[in-house]
């Protein structure tokens, strides 16, 4: 069933964007409102770093990956719009690089909406729920992915906490700072530049952005985003990068074991009952409206 859903999504993407993707790949999907706290740019920094690793070591054993993004930015939200541009620019370079032999593809789904969501959520292998801990009020997209058999990579934020409680650590890819650690870093004085300086993978990715590697030599295009990360990283993208990258390595290793991945996927579906609207409405009736069922 998952394969059929992937085929449907792949056919739609080819018609909408002209980009061909293989349905044998791991479908890694982040579809939601574009916002700095949701950290689509953390996802992209991982993709760039993975791309760099493949360029240096083409024989590296990883599953083929299709990274899919979707969502809209508020009209006046310049940084969110720049993140959308970044996703498309990185995709243009990676998707047209013959040296990586189609092991990676990056696609921004145009005009993502509920109708497109109907065949996006069921096609996902991995659900990206990577907001900074303490920033997501709740979230329902992660529940939709879970109910459709996607495994979650995420922080202890929003409904991720409840999903983790239901499925267990062994069926969830957890990374990043928790709320207490985020607050402690803010109190002690968070310096994102130190993370940039001390992490070669991260430094190379950011230097490529500032050097025009993904913008046809234009060194000004992503300068606002780079400056934001280095000097005003209020959503601690750089602080969580290494943990996220390491967790993504666990994802790749886990996906190569198809039998166990399938088991984890089934358990996610089986344990998603708590997120039924029937339960939530029953609790509203009992706890808020004082209605006896």
What's the whole-number mean pLDDT along residues 111-126?
95
pTM of the model: 0.95
Rounded to whole angstroms, the Cα distance separating 61 from 58 reads: 9
SS (H, E, C) the chain: CHHHHHHHHHHHHHHHHCCCCCCCCEEEEEECCCCHHHCHHHHHHHHHHHHHHHHHCCCCCCCCEEEEEECCCCCCCHHHHHHHHHHHHHHHHHHCCHHHCCCEEEEEECCCCHHHHHHHHHHCCEEEECCCCCCCCCCCHHHHHHHCCCEEEECCCCCHHHHHHHHCHHHCEECCCCHHHHHHHHHHCCCHHHHHHHCHHHHHHHHHHHHCCCCCCCCCCCHHHHHHHHHCCCCCHHHHHHHHHHHHHHHHHHHHCHHHHHHHHHHHHHCCHHHCHHHHHHHHHHHHCCCCC
Asked if residue 122 lies in contact with residue 2, where contact means CB atoms within 8 angstroms, the answer is yes
Asked if residue 206 lies in contact with residue 198, where contact means CB atoms within 8 angstroms, the answer is no
**Predicted local confidence at residue 24, as pLDDT:** 94
Place 293 in a pLDDT band, splitting at 50, 70 and 90: low
> Comparing C-alpha atoms, which of 240, 226, 205, 197 is closest to residue 37?
240
Q: Which residue has the higher pLDDT, 275 or 251?
A: 251
- Asked whether the predicted pLDDT for residue 274 surpasses 90, the reply is no
Least confident of 44-48, 81-85, 248-252, 282-286: 282-286
Per-residue pLDDT tens over the stretch 71-86: 999 999 999 999 999 9
What's the whole-number mean pLDDT along residues 269-285?
85
Per-residue pLDDT tens over the stretch 163-180: 999 999 999 999 999 999
**Predicted local confidence at residue 102, as pLDDT:** 87
Domains parsed from the chain with CATH numbers: 2-288 (3.40.50.2000)
- Asked whether the predicted pLDDT for residue 137 surpasses 80, the reply is no
Rounded to whole angstroms, the Cα distance separating 229 from 168 reads: 33
Q: Which residue has the higher pLDDT, 141 or 79?
A: 79
Rounded to whole angstroms, the Cα distance separating 70 from 91 reads: 13
Per-residue pLDDT tens over the stretch 184-233: 999 999 999 999 999 999 999 999 999 999 999 999 999 999 999 999 99
């Amino acid at each position: 069933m998952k394969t059929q859903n992937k085929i449907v999504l792949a056919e739609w993407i080819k018609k909408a964007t002209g980009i061909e993707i293989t349905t044998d790949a791991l479908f890694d999907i982040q579809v939601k409102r574009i916002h700095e706290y949701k950290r689509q740019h953390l996802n992209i920094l991982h993709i760039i770093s993975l791309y760099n690793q493949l360029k240096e070591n083409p024989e590296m054993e990883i599953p083929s990956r299709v990274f899919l993004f979707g969502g809209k930015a508020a009209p006046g939200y310049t940084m969110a719009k720049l993140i959308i541009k970044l996703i498309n620019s990185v995709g243009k370079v990676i998707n047209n690089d013959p040296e990586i032999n189609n092991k990676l593809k990056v696609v921004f789904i145009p005009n993502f909406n509920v109708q497109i969501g109907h065949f996006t959520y069921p096609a996902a292998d991995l659900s990206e729920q990577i907001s900074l801990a303490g920033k997501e009020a709740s979230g329902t997209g992660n529940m939709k992915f879970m109910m459709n058999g996607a495994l979650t990579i995420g922080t202890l934020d929003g409904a991720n906490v409840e999903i983790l409680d239901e499925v267990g650590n062994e069926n969830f890819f957890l990374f990043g700072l928790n709320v207490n650690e985020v607050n402690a870093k803010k109190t002690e004085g968070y310096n994102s530049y130190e993370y940039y300086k001390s992490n070669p993978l991260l430094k190379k990715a950011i230097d490529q952005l500032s050097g025009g590697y993904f913008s046809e030599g234009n060194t000004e295009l992503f300068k606002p985003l780079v400056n934001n990360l280095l000097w005003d990283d209020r959503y601690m993208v750089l602080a969580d990068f290494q943990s996220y990258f390491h967790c993504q390595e666990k994802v790749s290793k886990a996906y190569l074991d198809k039998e166990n991945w399938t088991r984890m996927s089934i358990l996610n579906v089986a344990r998603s009952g708590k997120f039924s609207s029937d339960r939530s409405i029953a609790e509203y009736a009992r706890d808020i409206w004082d209605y006896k069922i």
